[in-house]
Chain A
Amino acid sequence: MRTLLLRSLFARPVTIAAPSAENAALTEVGHALEGRIRRLYGRSLTIREVDAGSCNGCELEIHALNNAVYDCERFGLRFAASPRHCDVLMVTGPVTRNMKVALERTYAATPDPKWVVAVGDCACGCGVFEDSYAVIGAVDKVVPVDLHVKGCPPRPIELLRGLVALVDKATAKG
């Protein structure tokens, strides 16, 4: 009966339990992010994810940012359901011709100031899908991109590092 819930109440957080190299990097990245976002947005940077043609690999890793190990919310980063509620569009995939209008409309629906992060090799440069009649290519061919996070797909830790870089850029812009 509810042993899982009880254990959760008394367990140490998995997020900081194992101080391996990767977790150390995670903590370091996280604290850097927290300080900058607090100055800019009072600890809040809201993200809307848009799959504009991805194979779903990038989505799996972006999902992982929400799990207890990476727990991006502790850094003030959260994902919203609507572009109208967000500051950042995180776009994956080579933009397909069938998704071009949807991406443009999502961008238009996002209030200013806004930033676009292109996530993954396809979003950054078209990846393996180059030369297809069905693909426009990199995200910056459709909407302006403020940051590129490469990888196929990028690891969650690399995504967090990328968001730090974004906040650097956001400071310079704002």
Chain B
Amino acid sequence: MSETLQTLLQGRTAIAGHRPWPRYEIDAATWDALGAALAAGEGTLLGLWGDEGLVHMALSAPTLPTPAIVTLAVPDGTFPSVGKHHPPAIRLERAVCDLYGYAAAGAPDARKWLDHGAWGITAPLGSRAPAPLADPVAYDFSPVHGEGLHQIPVGPVHAGIIEPGHFRFTANGEIIARLEERLGYVHKGIDSLTTGCDIDRAARLVARVSGDSTVAASFAFARALESARGISAPPRAVALRGIMAELERIANHLGDIGAVCNDAAFALILAYCGILREKVLAACDRVFGHRLMMDKIVPGGVAHDPSPAELGVILAMLDDIAPLFADVVEEYDDTPSLQDRTCATGVVTPDLVVKWGAGGHVGRASGRDFDARRNLAYAPYDDLGFLVPVFMAGDVDARVRVRIREVEASMEMIRMLIDSLPDGPVRTQATGASAGEGVAVTEAFRGDLLVWLRLDGSRVARCHIRDASWFQWPLLEASIENNIVADFPLCNKSFNCSYSGHDL
């Protein structure tokens, strides 16, 4: 390959009004070359999404000063496939094709992804041409050949209280030869609903992309919108956002640690983690008026300014749960029969997490030392010293241990943020009629979450949310290979990918 990712983008003029990272309009040859450069390991794909007559791709690279967005016009409805070079783009391109009708030329997988033939139309953000309803079960799973193989179909309705999706296992006895996922069941058309809608409605929709990451998504949306408007939230609001984001992280990690242990039939830790999680959510409810803190981060700031007494509730809750959490961790460490299930189970290799740019505990358990709070530093984390735990084993145990260390780190961060909480207002005026484009990445509990938007006066012209799960779901398929069927729940919970955040 002659041109590197850096030289491909060098000397270009960025589109005016796109903040804080540059956006470049490029031609098809450059788009294709960028795909090859990503495949060569020069950078990381951060997202790929459609727009009216356009496709956008977000990427980062060590040779670039900041991440960048590149845009290709698709006048004839096709664009060169990035996925043919770089597999992490395949599902993103299938989604673009389903929503806009733009085909990725040369793509290795032309099957529908989000479109199950149930909408009555095709390309809902494109031609909206009427389409006959299809049998929802009809889907060409990749063929698996070999002696003694059998298939186990699971879902979309699962056995637990979880979201819907279909898993097609091909097993040889107890050993899984292949897992293929089929997602899209909870596709609600969020890309369409946030197109040309007023800012308040867009904010409410973004907060409901994935209920467990509502704070992280609202945080990213608010920052993207503030970037587009060229404003920033007041310092007190920024610190409060950090407190909420870390509370959300603690609550989710506690739930996951308990659930992983429960899937290994160790109910004691689930019981304790359930109590700890409940204490966190009850404190959130008392302080912010909502257990999940939904709609509490708003463009321009935060919706509620907690009193000193309310901040004391959070500190008291942390003092309450910290010693009990230490006991839970000790119990995990002291139980070899539990670790017998979690260690060496569901291994993801370091090269895969790097290639897929997998964030969160999936990446950090396999040696990818990336955390958006530090690597793409944003307030309030840019002023905060904190630990980013990284493990190398890549198994269920490592993903549990990343969460354990992160719970401890987040508790410390909340204390620091409350200690140094600035006085002042918690909201600036975010309304107005300016145009502009903004992008932001926040570190949700499961990894980096990207929001990109274009404003048109007082409305959101286009908004795209890319959950960390897009780059983690495919690795779940890889992790389960050669494991036994009974270990799938354990692996799945150790990932805890979002269905709704992925399906949109």
List A residues at the B interface (Cβ < 8 Å). Answer: 1-5, 7-8, 14, 49-64, 66-69, 79, 81-83, 93-94, 96-102, 106, 127-129, 131-135, 152-153, 155
Contact = CB atoms under 8 A, between A and B. Distances in A.
B161 interface: yes
Kindly list the 5 A-B residue pairs having the minimum CB-CB distance in the complex, ordered from nearest: A57-B211, A67-B274, A132-B189, A81-B159, A134-B189
Contact of B163 (A8, A54, A94): A54
Given A67-B277, A128-B201, A99 B156 contact: yes
B188 A64 contact: no
Contact of A82 (B156, B159, B186, B278): B159
Interface stretch (B309-317, B324-332, B349-357, B470-478): B324-332
A21 B212 CA distance: 27
Pick from B160, B164, B278 the residue with the most CB of A within 10 Å.
B164
Interface string B143-167: 0000000000000110111111000
B331 A133 contact: no
A56 B211 contact: yes
Contact of A153 (B114, B116, B292): B292
B186 A96 contact: yes
A155 B161 contact: no
Contact of A133 (B157, B192, B201, B204): B192
A67 B278 contact: yes
B212 A56 contact: yes
A59 B211 contact: yes
A3 B331 CA distance: 8
Contact of B156 (A7, A61, A102): A102
Contacts of A128: 193, 201, 204-205, 208
8 contacts: A4-B331, A55-B211, A59-B163, A66-B274, A67-B271, A67-B275, A106-B157, A132-B190
Interface stretch (B117-125, B390-398, B428-436): B117-125
Contacts of B116: 97-98
B308 interface: no
Contacts of A4: 268-269, 272, 327-328, 330-331
Contact of B118 (A1, A55, A98): A98
Given A52-B164, A128-B204, A135-B188, 17 more contacts: A8-B268, A50-B157, A50-B164, A54-B186, A54-B211, A56-B499, A57-B212, A60-B211, A64-B278, A64-B281, A96-B185, A97-B116, A97-B120, A106-B157, A132-B192, A152-B208, A155-B291
Nearest to B277: A67
Contacts of A64: 274, 277-278, 281
A66 B273 CA distance: 12
B301 interface: no
Contacts of A14: 275
Contacts of A62: 161
Given A4-B327, A60-B255, A97 B159 contact: no
B209 A55 contact: yes
Given A67-B277, A81-B159, A57 B214 contact: yes
B163 A51 contact: yes
A68 B274 contact: yes
Contacts of A61: 291
Contacts of A129: 188-190, 193, 205, 208
B119 A97 contact: yes
A96 to B, nearest CB: 6
Contacts of B187: 96, 98, 134
